[in-house]
Structure 1
Amino acid sequence: MEDVNSRFKHRKAELARLGLLSSETEALVNDMLEQLEMLEQRNAALRRSLRSSSKTPRMSSKLKDALYE
């Protein structure tokens, strides 16, 4: 996703260089890019949390052995 974010930033810079962005549009695009970065960070944190939670056993092996006996 970082690649997409950098492409958007590059396109915004190119449009600004050509003078095709009004100040209102540039402010909107900047807000959207900031939101995208925040959502990417949140998504990465959720993925890490999900990965770490799936590795932990739900029941201790001693308890599981006792229940199966």
Structure 2
Amino acid sequence: MENVISRLKLRKAEMERLGLLSPEAEALLNDMMDELERLEKQNDSLRRSLRSSSKTPRMSSKLKDALYE
């Protein structure tokens, strides 16, 4: 995903250089890039959390049912 963000930043910079962005469009793109980076960090955090939680041992459903009886 980092590669995608870098590529988008390069395209945005090129559009700015060519003068193809209005101030409003530039502000919108900046907000979108910030949100994309925030979501990428959140996604990475959730993936790490999921990986660490999946390492905990689980009881089989038969064992769990027997213990609850």
TM-score (norm 2): 0.83
Structure 1: state its 5+ residue gaps: none
* Residue identity opposite 1:12 in structure 2: K
1:58 maps to 58
Structure 2: state its 5+ residue gaps: none
1:17 maps to 17
Aligned-residue CA RMSD in angstroms? 1.3
Sequence identity percentage: 69
Structure 2 Cα separation of the partners of residues 45 and 30 of structure 1: 23
Instruction: Say how many residue pairs are matched.
Output: 61
TM-score (norm 1): 0.83
1:33 maps to 33
Task: Show CA shifts across 1:22-44 (max 9, x none).
Answer: 00000000000000000000000
